[in-house]
């Protein structure tokens, strides 16, 4: 039984997260150093490392809340995200894409700080998304859902999204392109904008 967190520890945890949030939002996340975060939070390096072994784990902690929210909705299933009465797999994948675009739009800096490169695919969150999409692919009787799932998630790589946005592509356009993908790959043949 973890004997509960001490008050100063909790205070510092909050200070760290707040400072990190700020830094990630302000500067390029890749250039933010552990030392920067420690200084900004007003704590020592040791304190920082005690809880967070690296930058990624901090970003992940910041993301956790938001990702859990989506995961909840996926499981419980309000609206088209969940297993509502008469929704097709394609519709549900579209809804998932929309939710992810919103997440990317709001927190792309965090996602870039946390999960760039090969590490992204080993996250717990990625595993969750993957399982969900795989299930949808299987439900749509698509061939080889195991491989397809990863291919369907690939366009959600933070670097791809960020690049689109930087080039003036609106979130809505990205979303539309993803909806096309969903409908063309998982089923019904009357898609389109």
Partner DNA sequence: CAGTCAAGTGGACACGATGTCCGCTTAGTG
Partner DNA sequence: CACTAAGCGGACATCGTGTCCACTTGACTG
Least CB distance to a copy of itself at residue 43 (A): 29
Asked whether position 30 contacts DNA by CB under 7 A, the answer is no
Question: CB–CB of 20/58 below 8 Å?
Answer: yes
Asked whether position 146 contacts DNA by CB under 7 A, the answer is no
Q: Which of 18, 27, 49, 141 binds DNA (CB under 7 A)?
A: 49
Q: Which whole-number Å values give the CA distances from 6 to 19, 46, 85, in the listed order?
A: 20, 17, 47
Query: Among residues 19 and 161, whose Cβ is nearest to a copy of itself?
Result: 161
Q: Which whole-number Å values give the CA distances from 103 to 36, 131, 142, in the listed order?
A: 26, 18, 27
Question: Segment contacting DNA (CB under 7 A): 36-44, 77-85, 114-122, 123-131?
Answer: 36-44
Asked whether position 40 contacts a copy of itself by CB under 8 A, the answer is no
DSSP class of 109? H
Least CB distance to a copy of itself at residue 95 (A): 18
Least CB distance to a copy of itself at residue 115 (A): 10
Tokens at 191, concatenated? 């898609």
CA torsion sign, 131 to 132 to 137 to 138? Answer: positive
Q: Which of 55, 107, 132, 179 binds DNA (CB under 7 A)?
A: 55
Q: Which whole-number Å values give the CA distances from 160 to 73, 92, 134, 154, in the listed order?
A: 25, 22, 21, 9
Residues that bind DNA (CB under 7 A): 3-9, 11-12, 33-35, 42-47, 49-50, 53-55
């Amino acid at each position: 039984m973890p004997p509960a967190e001490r008050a100063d520890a909790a205070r510092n945890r909050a200070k760290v997260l707040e400072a990190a949030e700020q830094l990630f939002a302000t500067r390029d996340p890749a250039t933010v150093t552990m030392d920067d975060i420690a200084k900004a939070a007003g704590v020592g390096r040791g304190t920082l490392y005690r809880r967070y072994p690296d930058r990624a784990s901090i970003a992940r902690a910041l993301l956790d809340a938001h990702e859990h929210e989506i995961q909840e909705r996926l499981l419980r299933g309000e609206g088209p995200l969940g297993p509502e009465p008469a929704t097709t797999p394609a519709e549900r994948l579209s809804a998932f894409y929309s939710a992810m675009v919103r997440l990317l739009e709001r927190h792309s800096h965090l996602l870039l700080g946390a999960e760039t490169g090969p590490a992204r695919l080993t996250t717990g969150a990625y595993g969750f998304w993957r399982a969900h999409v795989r299930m949808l692919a299987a439900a749509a009787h698509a061939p080889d859902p195991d491989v397809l799932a990863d291919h369907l998630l690939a366009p959600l790589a933070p670097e791809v999204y960020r690049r689109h946005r930087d080039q003036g592509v609106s979130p809505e356009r990205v979303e539309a392109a993803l909806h096309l993908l969903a409908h063309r790959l998982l089923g019904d043949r009357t898609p389109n904008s």
